[in-house]
Amino acid sequence: MKRLSGKTIALAGQRKSEELSKLVENLGGVALVRPAQGTVFLDDSNVEKEIQALVDGNFDWLIFTTGIGTDKLYQTAVKMGLDDAFIASLKSAKVAARGYKTVNVLKKLGIQPAVRDDDGSTAGLVRELNAHRLTGCRVALQLHGDPAPVLIDWLEAQGADYREILPYKHIPPKQEVMEQLVGEILNGEVDAVNFTSTPQARFLMAYAKEKGLEDKLLTAFSTNVVAVAVGKVTAQALREVGITRIVVPEEERMGSAIIALVHYYQNKR
C-alpha cells in the first residue's frame, strides 16, 4: 500500500515543487502546488553596492544567514571582477554562519566560520555569538529576505556598528493562489500543507487575517490539516503565527519533510 494513499498535500513553496510533487505522487498522494511566497527578487544594482561596501568596509565580523544569499553575493562579486577581493574580505574578518547550506557555500569559498548556530536557527546563532564581544565592532549582516529582529536586537545590545545586506527580498504571493489555498484548507480538501520557508507561514496567515478567516484557519490546522516544516526555523515561524501541530524532520531537507509526514500518518494508525 502506498504510504500517502488518499492524502492530498499542498506544497507552499515554489522551489523544487516539481521534485516534491513527484515524491508525493510516488508515495500515493496527490500534490497541489500552491506557492505561498512570491518570487525572490534580486536587485543587481543594490547587491553591487553591497559587494563594494564589503570589499571596502574593513568589517570586523561578517554574519551570513542563508546559503542562497551568500552565494548571490559571491556570484555578483564574480560578475564585478571582485571575487578575489570578496574572498579576501571574508578571510580578513571573523565569519558567523546560520544553517548548513550557508556553511557549505562558505566552505566552497575556502572559509571556515568562527561561529555557527547550534541548531539551524537564528536564536541558535545568537546563543553561540554570546561567547564573543562585538562592542564597537563593524559588522556586516546578510539578511534572508526578511528582517532579523533577534539578531539585530542582539547586535544593538552589544553596541555593534552593523550594516544590513539584503541580496534578495520576498514578494507577497498572488492573491488568487492564497484564496485557493485557504479555501482548500477550510473546505477539507487538503490533508497537509508543506512549508519550506518562513515567509510562507506569515504570508498565508496575513492573508487569512485580512479576510477575517484567521481563527477558522488555525482551527483547521489544529484538527484536520497537518503543517509540515522543512526545519526548525520554518517550524518556529509557524508557531509564531499560531500553528502549533507541526511535523518537522530530523534532517532539514525538503524530501525528508515529506517522509516525516509519512511517519506521522503511520504512527497515527
Q: 169: which 3 cell numbers?
A: 527580498
The residue to which cell 552565494 is assigned: 71
1: in domain: no
Q: What phi and psi values does residue 138 have, to the nearest 5 degrees? A: -90, 125
Question: Of 142, 169, 196, which one is at a domain's C-terminal end?
Answer: 169
Shared domain for 125 and 222, answered yes or no, is no
Residue 76 sits in the same domain as residue 34: no
At residue 2, the pLDDT reads: 66
- Report pTM: 0.74
Confidence of residue 185 (pLDDT cuts 50, 70, 90): very high
The tens digit of pLDDT for each residue in 89-107 reads 999 999 999 988 899 999 9
Half-sphere exposure of residue 29: CA atoms within 13 angstroms, side-chain side: 26
Q: What is the mean pLDDT of the chain?
A: 91
Distances (CA, A) of 79 to 49, 105, 167: 13, 17, 15
H-type helices in the chain, by residue range? 17-26, 44-56, 67-79, 83-91, 100-108, 122-129, 149-158, 175-186, 198-210, 214-223, 232-240, 254-268
Average pLDDT for residues 178-190, to the nearest whole number? 97
Q: What is the pLDDT, as a whole number, of residue 43?
A: 67
pLDDT in tens, 209-264: 999 999 999 999 999 999 999 988 889 889 989 999 999 998 888 889 999 999 99
* CA terminus-to-terminus distance, the chain: 14
The pLDDT-based confidence of 85 (bands split at 50, 70, 90) is very high
Q: How confident is the model at residue 147 (pLDDT cuts 50, 70, 90)?
A: low
CATH number at residue 135: 3.40.50.10090
DSSP state of 31: E
Per the model's pLDDT, the better-predicted residue between 47 and 65 turns out to be 65
Segment 31-60 shows an average pLDDT of 84
User: Are 48 and 97 members of one domain?
Assistant: yes
Cell 559588522 -> residue = 139
The total of structural domains in the chain comes to 2
Distance from C-alpha of 148 to C-alpha of 65, rounded to nearest angstrom: 9
Asked if residue 3 is part of any domain, the answer here is no
Block residue for cell numbers 509526514: 261
180 shares its domain with 91: no
Domain with 27 in it = 8-38+173-268
Judge if 113 and 222 occupy the same domain.
no
Same domain as 114, residue 62? yes
Domain boundary among 169, 191, 209: 169
